[in-house]
Each structure stands twice: as structure tokens, then as C-alpha cells.
Copies of this chain bind each other. A is one copy, B any other.
Amino acid sequence: MESGYFTEESSADVVIARNSNAKDARLSQVIAVLVRHLHAAVKEIEPTTEEWLTAVKFLTDTGHTCTDWRQEFILLSDVLGVSMLVDAINNRRPNGASESTVLGPFHIADAPELPMGADICLDAKGEPMLVRGRILDTAGNPIASAKIDVWQANDEGFYDVQQKGIQPDFNLRGVFRTGPDGCYWFRGVKPKYYPIPDDGPVGKLLGALGRHPYRPAHLHYMIDAPGFQSLVTHIFDPDDPYITSDAVFGVKASLMAKFNWTTADKTIAEAGFSSPFHLVEHDFVLAPA
């Protein structure tokens, strides 16, 4: 190290010292951490030159797969658990508050606000579902005027934005607002599991790792209320075939909600259906802002 020249032993220190003139202290810190871990990983892996070139080619292919409408590096972050880790770090909540999970790419900002109880399924496809629950604070009190933005895939595992011209615009999306009792309820259809895009480099990597590309069936929620932290999360069907192997690691034990197939005539009538339906019940607890 006395010369400051590169050696295998001093490699990370030499690189980090070179960055000491960075104007932005945060950038300098981030790069130092990345360089230290990257060099440590390379020393542990001891890649051949060919393996290093394979990594270069993989990153290049991943970049070339990115377009205005496809983000292959986010997919890579997702399948390596990095997206969920960043989500976890940025959404630490007090005990008892509902846990977050990834936003995903299918949220849209201008979904219509609907009266409580509305059916967000606009094309009558799939098995009917009623979802209901309460929005609560950590003391168990109902939260009024909470804005509940929900979106979901259809019975074939596609979001409306993936099937423009096939599904109606704003199909299976809606915004609801709670009253003083904090209750919410809406109708939809049972969503299906679906694959993340797996025809690119990330899909090939998943295949080589012996992994499937599927996400278990889920409903998306973005819940906002004055005085509380925003909550972006899903609830999952615990009986989904992929519930223990979500390709993007989005499942948390606290985010399960049974899809109860309900056949009793009285319950069907009370829920406003004319045939059996899935009843899904889940409360959300918001953390104080």
C-alpha cells in the first residue's frame, strides 16, 4: 500500500481512496460500501476471465432488454430479493402495524373513486369475490376517511394495462374511502397467479437457478389516511400453489387472507350476490405518521 498502487490485497482500499474527492458525501459512502462488498465477492468467487465476461454480457443483455415499458434491472432486483429488502428498510413499522410489500409495476395514479361496495370487475369474468375489513390504528380504533386504492390481476393473471383492448380500462381497480367505522368492502373476482416477464435475461437466470417465474395470487392495496404512514402492500391467497415460492419474495406471513368459497344462500343474499362467491376478510393497521 505504500505506493498506493493496486495489489490484490489492497484492491478495495486503493479504489476507495481514489474517490476521496467526491463532492457528495452520500455518493462517496455508497460507492465505498459497494466497492468493498464487490471486491470481497470477487475475491470469494475468484471468477475466471470467461466468467467475468459472462457477467458483463449478462448485465449488457439486461440493459438492452430495458425499454420505456420494461425494466429488466428492476426484475433482476426483484428476483434477487433486493427490491423487497429496500422496501423493508424503508417501511419499518411499530409492532402491530400491517407490513408492507412491493408496489409492483401495475399501479396507476388515476383509478376512479367508487362508492363503498362497488364491483371493480367490469367484464363479469371470473369467480366473484367480496373483500372486506377495517382500517385501524395501532390501538385498534377505526380510521375514518382512509383512502384505499386497490388493484388486482384478473382470473387469468393479467392486469388491465397488460390487456388494453381486451379488458375494459380501469378493470379491477378502484379507490374507496372509509366512513367513521373504518370499514371497507368491495367486489371483484378471484385473482390468479401470474409469471413475471421471463423471456429476457432475468427469466433465463431464473431457469438456470431452477426457479419458476410465478407470483402467487394477490390483491394490491395502497392505503393513505391523514396522520398515518402510507401503506403499500398486498394480501395473498394462502392456498395458492406458489404461496411459498413467490418469484419476487413479496409474501409475508402476516399478509395472508383466505379466499373462503361461500355457498350458503343466506350469506350469498346478504352479500348481494346471486351465486356462490369467495369471501376475503382482512384488516389493515396503519402506523402513526
Which A residues fall within an 8 A CB radius of B?
3-8, 11-12, 14-15, 18-24, 27-31, 33-49, 51-52, 56, 59-60, 62-64, 66, 71, 73-74, 77, 80-90, 92, 208-211, 244-245, 249-253
Contact = CB atoms under 8 A, between A and B. Distances in A.
Contacts of A66: 60, 63-64
Across chains A and B, which 7 residue pairs bring their CB atoms closest together, nearest first?
A63-B63, A21-B210, A15-B81, A8-B88, A37-B41, A37-B37, A6-B249
A246 to B, nearest CB: 8
B60 A60 contact: no
Contacts of A33: 41, 44-45
A77 to B, nearest CB: 7
A52 B19 contact: no
**Tally of this chain's copies:** 2
B38 A7 contact: no
A29 B253 CA distance: 28
A208 B89 contact: no
Nearest to A42: B85
Contacts of A82: 38-39, 42, 52
Contacts of A74: 56
Interface residues of A, dominant DSSP: helix
A37 B28 CA distance: 18
A19 B249 contact: no
Contacts of A47: 30, 86, 89
Contact of A64 (B14, B36, B63): B63
Given A84-B6, A253-B5, A209 B45 contact: no
Nearest to A27: B208
B85 A11 contact: yes
Nearest to A9: B88
Contact of A7 (B41, B88, B90, B210): B88
A90 to B, nearest CB: 6
Nearest to A208: B27
12 contacts: A6-B249, A7-B88, A11-B81, A12-B81, A15-B249, A21-B211, A23-B208, A35-B81, A38-B82, A43-B85, A60-B73, A64-B64
Contacts of A77: 52, 56
